[in-house]
Amino acid sequence: MPRGGNTNARGYGAPHVAARAAMKRAVDAGTAQCSICGGPISPHEPWDADHTDDRTGYRGPAHRSCNRRTGAIKGNRARGQASAQVKRWRL
């Protein structure tokens, strides 16, 4: 098996991988903001990549605990704040 694999050929697009890597860098640097609650994400906290509803991109990194809750509170999030992040992380 080739070292690292070829994600492009496996149907999981490189843009997604790049976006996740960018989010990880922000989280690791301690500069990431949760796309759901707007709070800072600590490098030591578990986080998820929060998808846009149409799955064409990511809203950005989100606390795992926030992301797991969004099913219930969808539509309640602060749209104005989220839209800035959609632009930032759009693929």
Contact pattern for Zn ion over residues 19 through 58, marking x by CB under 5 A: ---------------x-xx---------------------
User: Helix and strand tally (H, E) in the chain?
Assistant: 3, 2
The nearest distance, CB 89 to Zn ion, in angstroms, is 15
Does position 63 bind Zn ion by CB under 5 A?
yes
Listed residue (90, 85, 84, 13) closest to 57, CA to CA: 90
| Cα end-to-end distance, the chain, whole Å | 28
Residue 23 belongs to what H/E stretch?
Answer: helix 14-29
Residue closer to Zn ion (CB basis): 57 or 60:
60
Nearest approach, Cβ of residue 88 and Zn ion (Å): 16
Question: What does the DSSP 8-state code read for residue 75?
Answer: T
Of the ranges 7-15, 46-54, 64-72, 80-88, which one interacts with Zn ion (CB under 5 A)? 64-72
Question: For residues 34 and 49, which CB has a smaller minimum distance to Zn ion in the complex?
Answer: 34
